Amino acid sequence: MYKFPEGFLWGTSTSGPQSEGIEAGDGKGMSNWDYWFSIAPEKFHNQVGPDRTSTFYHNYKEDIELLEQTGHTTFRPSIQWSRLIPEGVGEVNPKAVEFYRDVFKRINAKGIKLMVNLYHFDIPYALQAKGGWENKETAYAFRDYAEKCFELFGDLVDTWFTFNEPIVPVEAGYLADFHYPAKVDLKAAVQVAYHTQLASSLAVEACHRLNPEHRISVILNLTPAYPRSDHPEDIKAARIAELFQAKSFLDPSVKGYYPEELIDILKAHDLIPAHTEEELAIIRENTVDFLGVNYYQPLRVQAPTKTTEQPMNLDFYFEHYVMPGRKINPHRGWEIYETGVYDIAMMIKQDYDNIDWILTENGMGVEGEEKFKVDGAIQDDYRIEFIQDHLKELHRAIEDGANCHGYMLWTFIDCWSWLNAYKNRYGLVELDLESQKRTIKKSGHWFKELSQNNGF
């Protein structure tokens, strides 16, 4: 029996742009995803756009009942900036206020711990048109948006997250073509990362100023970088990979400053972002209260094989490596490496003063999941096994002193994705795209037992 500490939280995470949907007359402004789909629908899987998500906006009352039926003691949704403040700054959408307040009230009434994320890869397009995160003014617009959220919903929410995986829009939008604006510009990527960190720190300051008893954090995908070999060049590549992909946000968020080695690397190639001492003081003085940690698969790297004088991308510093014989999710193609959870926990314990943290995302995507349906319900034993195997490593970490206080699966109901539409299903609850009917999977019933037993 794997028993977890008293008060350990069990739940799931989702995001507004992937779950809410759009209804005529709802007052929502255009986001970066809405705009990109309008000009390049071919970029989206099967040309399924952000208007066709899992309709939480319309069905949230039923969905909140399902939260209870699947044993949630915590839930992490996100607010869509473009829904609340359609132009990014200025006028607030009253229909959004009404919607979010009712959602939060109903979740609270179930006795479910509500943790709300302010940003899940979705910027109002009105701000993107002015440069988005390349423009420093966006950081201050985000602070104002965060303040408005704290004022409007602070009586219902006492635990907040500023950003979900802030490194992802940097990599996917400025070093690849998976997020808008889909351009390759390493110097712009570094500037975007800096402005995002500044925005996060500004929101932390605002939260503590307006509601000193509230807790606020950031959600980071802290995947350890594992080198291909013990060769010094592979080990160096892994260290640099962690600097860019984890510590570039982890260190300023928790410690208040950037790693010196990362600064030296950026200086060497004229990549230091425009900044002021006042901004660095804001980052230094407004660190997070705890951490949200997402983990799906390991980051395996090797020394770069290409040689150029100036970096055009991160593969100048390290390259991804496919490890032979790896354990694989046959339904999704991602590596499964449960030990990564333990390694993250020990890294936080040893290098970051064992700060409080929650595993805010972990999950198994499955393509063609309907083939596992028996008597009207998905029999997803593979997902139960996946969760159990990761929880064993999390339990081992807690036994060894890790300060983890909860486990949150991605996700509650099968949701839309910009890259995959509904191809890969992650939910505890199945969504029928035609009827919008929700059906609890076997894993959803098991998750309730997990929560009630506080272990398995």
Q: Report, as residue numbers or ranges, the catalytic residues.
A: 165, 361
From the list 252, 259, 334, 325, the residue with the least C-alpha distance to 295 is 334
Count of H helices and E strands in the chain?
16, 18
Which residues does residue 377 pair with via DSSP β-bridges, in sequence order?
Answer: 374
Which string of DSSP letters, residue by residue, matches 66-98? Answer: HHHHTT-SEEE-B--HHHHSTTSSS---HHHHH
Question: 223: which 2 tokens?
Answer: 């995947």
Q: Give, in degrees to the nearest 5, the angle at Cα 178 between 175 and 183.
A: 40
Residue 32's φ and ψ, nearest 5 degrees, are: -60, -35
Residue 374's φ and ψ, nearest 5 degrees, are: -135, 125
Q: Give, in degrees to the nearest 5, the angle at Cα 13 between 9 and 15.
A: 155
What is the DSSP-derived secondary structure letter of residue 335?
B
3-state DSSP assignment of residue 209? helix
**What distance in Å separates the CA atoms of residue 107 and residue 122, rounded to the nearest whole number?**
23
**What distance in Å separates the CA atoms of residue 72 and residue 26, rounded to the nearest whole number?**
29
What is the DSSP-derived secondary structure letter of residue 46?
G
**What distance in Å separates the CA atoms of residue 431 and residue 63, rounded to the nearest whole number?**
11
Measured CA to CA in angstroms, residue 282 lies from 119, 264, 274, 286 at distances of 20, 22, 15, 6
Maximum Cα–Cα distance across the chain? 63
Which single residue is written with the structure tokens 């009404």?
98
Strand ranges across the sheet with 291-294: 113-114, 74-76, 9-13, 404-410, 357-361, 291-294, 215-221, 159-164, 116-117
Q: In whole angstroms, what separates CA 438 from the centre of its chain?
A: 24
| Neighbour tally for 134: CB within 10 Å | 17
